[in-house]
Structure 1
Amino acid sequence: MPEPEAYLPIESYGVIGNLETCALVAPNGSIDWFPFPHLESPSILAAILDAERGGRFRIGPTTRFETNRRYVDDTNVLETIFHTSDGTATLTDFMPPAGQVDQPKKVLYRKVTCTDGAVDLAIDLEPQFDYGRAATTLDSVDGGVLAASEAERVLLETPVDLEIEDGRITGEFSLEAGETVWVLLRCTGAEDANTDPDAALEETIEYWTEWGHHCGPDDDCAFEGPWHDDVVRSELVLKLLTHAESGAIAAAPTTSLPEDIGGVRNWDYRFNWLRDAGFTVQALMNLGTVAEAIDYFEWFVDLCQTADPETIQPLYGLHGEADLEERKLEHLEGYRGSRPVRVGNEAAQQRQLDIYGELLLAVDEMCQRGRALNDDEWVRIRDIVDYVRDVWDEPDAGIWEVRGGNKHFVYSKVMCWVALDRGIELACERDRDAPLEGWQETRERIRADVLENGYDEEIGAFVQSYGTSVLDATALLLPVVGFLPFDDERVQGTIDAIDERLVTDDIFVARYHGDDGLPGNEGAFVLCSCWFVNALALSGRVEDARSRFESLLEYLNPLGLVAEEIDPETGAQLGNYPQAFSHIGIVNSALYLGYVHGHELPGPDPMGIRLGDPAVVPDE
C-alpha cells in the first residue's frame, strides 16, 4: 500500500457517525479520527493530530490510484471510489444510527466492492487508545484480531487473513468485478453482537433517506436555489452532530484542528455552546426537523431549570457535564505541528453575557411555533431576564471567548437587550406575571447605552467594545435580532464599514481585527460570511447577497462539508471540522434569501424581523 501523506488537508475528509460519535475518513481510505464511545471521549484513532502516534485504520489499493467520493444520496453513508490501472473498487463506510435501526450501533462497517476489473487492496489498522496514551495488546481470535487496552477494546473482523506486527494489524486481499469483502470494527460492547452487514447498510440508508429534508417539484421550498443540495447536506451534518441520548448538538466532532497552522489557536469543540441555541432551533424548525429542534430545546431548557442564572455556563458536555477542564496532550504533535492539542475547554468557566439573549431567542422561536411554557419554565425564564437586568452593564469575555480580559462588548450588551425584549414579548403575548415596567426601563437603558458608547461617529459603524475603534462582524446581527431596523443609516454604515475593513475577496469575513490575547492569525469565519450575506439580503441588496453566497459555497468541499474558517489566501479550510455553526449559517442564509425572494416559510418570519419588513435598498 502506498505510504500515506503525513497530513492531508482538513477539507479532504468525509465524516460518518452513529449519533453518538463520528469518524473522519480520508480520500485514501484512512480513518484518521475516531473518538469512542462518544464524541467527547478519548480517541481510538487520531492520526489527524499525530501522524506517528495517533493511530489510523486504512483500507485501500496497494498500487497507485485516483479517488473520487460521494455520499449515497441524502444520507451519511460515504463512498470512496478507487481507480487503479487494473480496476475500480468502492469503499463504503458507515455506522448504524443509534436507536434507529435493528443493528448494533457500536460497529464501524467498511464494505469493499470491486466494480470493474481487478483490484489488490490492503488493510492497515493501528489502534491507539486514549489519545495514544494507553498500553495496547493485539491478539488473534476467531474471525479476526482483538485490540485491547485497560479501558477499551476493538475487534477487527474480516475473512481476510490478518497479521500482527509492531503494534499494527495488516492484511492483503484481491477482488475481481462483482466481489465484496466486509471489514467490521466492533467496538467495546459489540464484540459478540449479532450483525448482518448487508441489512445494516440497507437499514442505515433507509433511515437517512427518510429522515432528511424533502420537497417536491411543485412545493414552494424556502431553500429553493442552486444551494438546495448544500442545505440538505448541512442538515445531515447537524443531525450527525446531534447526540441521540440528550439531543445536544456538538459544535464539531473534532478537537484542536488549528485556526492557524503551526499556531496555538487549537480548541476542543466536542461540546454544546448555548449561544448556538436560537439560530440552531431556527434552522432545524425551518428544515422540518421538528423532533430534533424540540429535543435540543428541551435539553437546554432542562439545563437552565437546574442552574441559577449566574451559574449557567456558555457550554456543556453533550450529557450536560459542567466540568470541562482544559488539558494539554503534550505527547501529540498536533495537526501539522499545531500545538498544543487540547481536550476540554476552559471557556466553560468564562462569563459570557450574550448567552442569555441567545437562550431567549430560542424560547421565543419555539413559542412562536406553538410550544407553551409551563409555570416552572416561565419562572426560570423570568429569573434569567431579571438577572440580565442586574448585570448587563458589567464586562464579560464576549461571544468570541477572548482570553485577554473582560471588556464591555457591544454584542453582549445587545444580546442583553434581546433577553429583555423577548422576555417582555413573551410576558405580554402569554399574559405572564413579570415586572414589565422595570424590564422595559432597562431595555431602553441598554439601547441608549449601546447607541452612545457602541457606535463610532467617525467610522460610521458599531464597534466591538466600548472605547475602541475595532470592528467586529457581530455588529451584522444588530438588525437581525431587531435592535435597529435594516434601513437605519447606522446599520447600513456598519455593513459598509465591515465590507471595507473585514471582508476580503467579497466573501471572506474576519471576526475582527484586533488583539484578543493570543498570538498568531486566523482565517475568515464561515459563519461571519453568512451573517454578511444575511445583512445584505435583508437590507434589500438581494443580488449582491446572492452572488456572495454562491461564491462562499464554492469553498465547501466536494462532499458539501466545511470547517470553521477558510484561509482567504489559499482557500484551505481551517479549524474544527465539520463545524455545526458554519452549516447552520449556510441553512439560515439560504432561508433568508428564500424569504426575500418571496418563498413561503414553513414557520414564522425569520427571527428578529419584528420591526417591519426588511429594508428595500436598491442594488448598486
Structure 2
Amino acid sequence: MYKHLTEYGAIGDGNTVALVGCDGSIDWCPLPHVESPSVFAAILDADRGGHFAVRPTQSFKSVQRYRDRTAVLETAFQTADGSATVTDFMPVAEATESTDRPPAVYRKLECDNGPLEFEVAFEPRFDYAREVPIIEPAADGVVAIGADERIILSSDLPLRPSTDGHRASATVTLKAGETRWLGLGYDEAIPLEPSHYQKMLEGVIAYWREWNHDCNKTDCPLDSPWHDLAVRSSLVLKLLIHRGTGAVCAAPTTSIPEDLGGVRNWDYRFNWIRDAAFTVQALSELGHLNEARSYFQLCLDHCRDHDPADVPPVYGLHGGDDLKEHVLDHLEGYRGSAPVRVGNAARQQRQLDVYGELILAIYESIRYGEAVTTDDWAVMCDLIDYICEGWDQPDVSIWEPRDDPQHYVYSKVMCWVALDRGIKLAEAAGDDVSAPLERWRTCREDVRKAILERGYSERANSFVQTFGGETLDAANLLIPVMGFLPPDDARVQGTIDATIEHLATENGLVRRYEGDDGLPGEASPFVVCSFWLVTALALTGRTDEATDRFESILEYASPLGLLAEAVDPGTGEQRGNFPQAYSHIGLINSVLYLADMDSSSGGSRAPLGRDEWTEDSGLSGEIIRQPNNTERADTQ
C-alpha cells in the first residue's frame, strides 16, 4: 500500500511541491503553498489521504526520469501490450504569461506503443483529509468542492464522478501516437486547450534549462565525476525555494518517519536558519546569484524583525512564526508511523547556534559581492553583542532534542563564529563602521578558551557533544569548516577518527550523536552528517578516504538522484522527510570540496573557514552602503 521514498519524483513551481509515484499516482500535494494543508496525502494514509493516479489498467513495469536539466518528470510504463509515458509538471510563473495564477498540475499521457488501456483515479481530500469534497461534473472535466476551497480537473478524457460524489474516474484506450491531457487548477479552471498545454510544457522546459547551472567544464567548481548529480541537487534546492520570499523549505513533506513505526515524525515545511550559510555557499558557487541574494535579504530580515534574545531557529516560508505543533489523529502515518504532526515546536526552542549561522550567512554573502546598509550593520552588532552576553547559557542546539537544555559544544562554536565573522567584517570595513571590537575580541577568546578546555575530551581524543561530556556529536565535524581550528590540528583529526569509530556505519553513513535524546526509538543516520564527514576528510587531505565514503553515500540516492533526511542502516531505505534540502546542500558542498582538492591548485576551498579577508580571493568588495529611504518599505 505504501511505496518506498525512492519510488517518488518531485515536481514544483516555487509555491508548492507534489510527489509523483512510479505508479503514476500523486500521493502528496499541499495547495496552494507547500505549508498549506494537503489536497492529496496518500503517502500519510493510503486509505484516507487522497491521490490522483494515471496508470495502465493491466500489470505494468515503470521507470521515472527527469527531462534533462529540468524538473519536468516522466514516468514510462511498459505492459505486455504496449508502452506509454506520463509527463508531469507545474507551470513556473517566470515561464508563463502571468505571475499571479494559482498553482496548477499538468499531466500529459502519450501512448508510445498500443493500443493500451489507461485509468484515471481522482480522489482529492482537503485539509489533510479531514474534509471529503463533493465532486461534480464541470465543463471539460470535474470540480471538487469543499467548504472553503475547490480544485478543478480539466481533461479530454471522459471523467465521471462516482455515485457518492467522493471521487471521479475515467478509462480510455489509446492508440500508438495518441496523446491526452489533464490539467488540475486550484480555485480556478484551466481551459481545455491541449495545444496551449504543449506550449506551456515547452516553456517550462526552457525555463529550467535556462536557470540550470551552465558551465565551462574547464573552469567549473563542480568539475568532477559527480557534476551532474550535484546539478540535480541544485534543481531540488530550487524546487524548495519559495519564489515569493526566497525562503528555503527544509523539505516539502511532514511526518515521514526517521524511525519506521516510531514517533520521530516532524513537519519540515519551514525555513531553518541552520541551513543558511551552506545554502548561500552552494547557490553562489553554482552561479544562482539571485536566489543567494534573496536568501541574504531574508537573513537580514531575520536580524531586523526580532529582538536579539528572541530570534527563533525556524520560520514559516512567508515570514510568519505561528508554527504551533499539533497532531492529526485521523491519519495512520506513512507505513503506520504515527503521530502525523503539523507545525513544529522547535519554533519555541532556544538555539544559540542560529546566531552564528545567521552572521556567517551574511558574511559569506558579502564575500560573494553583497553589501549591508549602515542600519543592517547596527542590527548585526546588536546580535553579536547579545552573543557576548549569552554565549555561556545552555540551549538545545542544532539537533533540537526535546529534553533539558545543555552546554552544547556546537552551539559554542557557532557563537565563536558569530564573533569571529563580525570582527572580520568590522576590520575589513574600517572607518565605515562602528563596533566594540575590543569587547568582541575578548569575548571571542573567552569562548574559544571554554571550548578547548571544556568541549574537548582527552579520553575520547575528540570534541564532544556537551561541556564535560564524553559522547560524540557529528556537528563537530564542522569545526575545521568553520575555521575554529585548522584542518591539520590533532584535535580535528582525532574528532574525525572518533566519529568514524563511534558514529559511522560500515556503509559510510553517520549518526548525529551518541546517547539518549529524550525520545523513544532510534534515529537513523543523517545524510547531511555523512556529507560533513566527507568534507572534513577532504579538508584534512584524506581525499581518497573522502571519495570512497562519498561514493558509498551516493548508493542510497534514488534513481532520480533524490535524497531524504536519513537512511535506515539495516535496510538501506531512505527515511525522514523527502526530498531534504539539507541533504542536497551537503551533497553540493561535498562535491565542491572534493573537486577543489582534486584540482591542479592542490586544493584551496575552505570558504566558510577562511581565516583572512584577502584582496586576491576574488570575493572582496563593498561591505557597507548607505540605505535607500524606500528600501525597507519595498522589503516589507
Fold shared by both chains (TM-score > 0.5): yes
Query: How many corresponding residue pairs?
Result: 607
Asked whether the 8 Å contact 1:507–1:552 carries over to 2, the reply is yes
2:91 is the alignment partner of 1:96? yes
The residue that corresponds to 1:145 in the other structure is 142
CA RMSD of aligned residues (A): 1.8
Displacement of 1:285 in angstroms is 0.2
Asked whether the 8 Å contact 1:222–1:599 carries over to 2, the reply is no
Query: Given the superposition, is the C-alpha separation of residues 579 and 599 from structure 1 closer, same or farther in structure 2, using an over 3 Å criterion?
Result: farther
- Give the fraction of aligned pairs with identical amino acids, expressed as a percent: 52
Question: C-alpha separation between the residues in 2 aligned to 1:413 and 1:377?
Answer: 24
Question: C-alpha separation between the residues in 2 aligned to 1:102 and 1:560?
Answer: 31
TM-score, with length taken from structure 2: 0.93
Question: C-alpha separation between the residues in 2 aligned to 1:423 and 1:143?
Answer: 60
Written as runs of structure 1 = structure 2, the 5 A alignment for 1:218-233 is: 219-233=218-232
Question: C-alpha separation between the residues in 1 aligned to 2:300 and 2:189?
Answer: 34
Question: C-alpha separation between the residues in 2 aligned to 1:522 and 1:159?
Answer: 47
Written as runs of structure 1 = structure 2, the 5 A alignment for 1:49-68 is: 49-68=44-63
Question: C-alpha separation between the residues in 1 aligned to 2:461 and 2:190?
Answer: 64
Q: Describe the superposition over 1:505-533 as per-residue Cα deviations: whole angstroms up to 9, x where unpaired.
A: 25110001211111001211110000000
Question: C-alpha separation between the residues in 2 aligned to 1:252 and 1:534?
Answer: 23
Displacement of 1:194 in angstroms is 7.7
Bigger shift: residues 194-203 or 39-48: 194-203
2:43 is the alignment partner of 1:44? no
Asked whether the 8 Å contact 1:502–1:510 carries over to 2, the reply is yes
Q: Describe the superposition over 1:432-485 as per-residue Cα deviations: whole angstroms up to 9, x where unpaired.
A: 211111100000000110111111111110100123211010110111101111
Question: C-alpha separation between the residues in 1 aligned to 2:9 and 2:611?
Answer: 39
Written as runs of structure 1 = structure 2, the 5 A alignment for 1:191-206 is: 191=190, 196-206=196-206
Question: C-alpha separation between the residues in 1 aligned to 2:381 and 2:121?
Answer: 57
TM-score, with length taken from structure 1: 0.96
Aligned partner letter, 2:405:
N
Asked whether the 8 Å contact 1:562–1:578 carries over to 2, the reply is yes
1:156 corresponds, among 138, 147, 153, to: 153
Question: C-alpha separation between the residues in 2 aligned to 1:507 and 1:177?
Answer: 47
Bigger shift: residues 24-33 or 128-137: 128-137
Displacement of 1:611 in angstroms is 7.4
Aligned partner letter, 1:259:
E
Question: C-alpha separation between the residues in 1 aligned to 2:561 and 2:306?
Answer: 38
Written as runs of structure 1 = structure 2, the 5 A alignment for 1:466-505 is: 466-505=467-506
SS in 2 for 1:399: coil
Asked whether the 8 Å contact 1:13–1:27 carries over to 2, the reply is yes
Displacement of 1:98 in angstroms is 2.6
The residue that corresponds to 1:175 in the other structure is 174
Question: C-alpha separation between the residues in 2 aligned to 1:541 and 1:604?
Answer: 14
Displacement of 1:610 in angstroms is 2.1
Question: C-alpha separation between the residues in 1 aligned to 2:373 and 2:47?
Answer: 54
Aligned partner letter, 1:149:
G
Bigger shift: residues 505-514 or 396-405: 505-514
Question: C-alpha separation between the residues in 1 aligned to 2:167 and 2:601?
Answer: 56
Question: C-alpha separation between the residues in 2 aligned to 1:375 and 1:235?
Answer: 33
Runs of 4+ in 1 over 3 A off after TM superposition: 189-195
Question: C-alpha separation between the residues in 1 aligned to 2:67 and 2:94?
Answer: 21
2:25 is the alignment partner of 1:26? no
Displacement of 1:367 in angstroms is 1.2
Query: Given the superposition, is the C-alpha separation of residues 360 and 157 from structure 1 closer, same or farther in structure 2, using an over 3 Å criterion?
Result: same
Q: Describe the superposition over 1:159-200 as per-residue Cα deviations: whole angstroms up to 9, x where unpaired.
A: 211222241111000111110000111111445698820111
Displacement of 1:224 in angstroms is 1.5
Asked whether the 8 Å contact 1:101–1:207 carries over to 2, the reply is no
Question: C-alpha separation between the residues in 1 aligned to 2:119 and 2:81?
Answer: 15
Question: C-alpha separation between the residues in 2 aligned to 1:244 and 1:372?
Answer: 22
What are structure 1's unaligned runs of at least 5 residues? Answer: 1-5, 614-620
Asked whether the 8 Å contact 2:151–2:188 carries over to 1, the reply is no
Asked whether the 8 Å contact 2:299–2:361 carries over to 1, the reply is no
Q: Describe the superposition over 1:483-520 as per-residue Cα deviations: whole angstroms up to 9, x where unpaired.
A: 11111111101100111011112511000121111100
Asked whether the 8 Å contact 2:299–2:362 carries over to 1, the reply is no
The residue that corresponds to 1:215 in the other structure is 215
Query: Given the superposition, is the C-alpha separation of residues 193 and 81 from structure 1 closer, same or farther in structure 2, using an over 3 Å criterion?
Result: closer
Question: C-alpha separation between the residues in 1 aligned to 2:547 and 2:236?
Answer: 23
The residue that corresponds to 1:547 in the other structure is 548
Asked whether the 8 Å contact 1:98–1:105 carries over to 2, the reply is no
The residue that corresponds to 2:80 in the other structure is 85
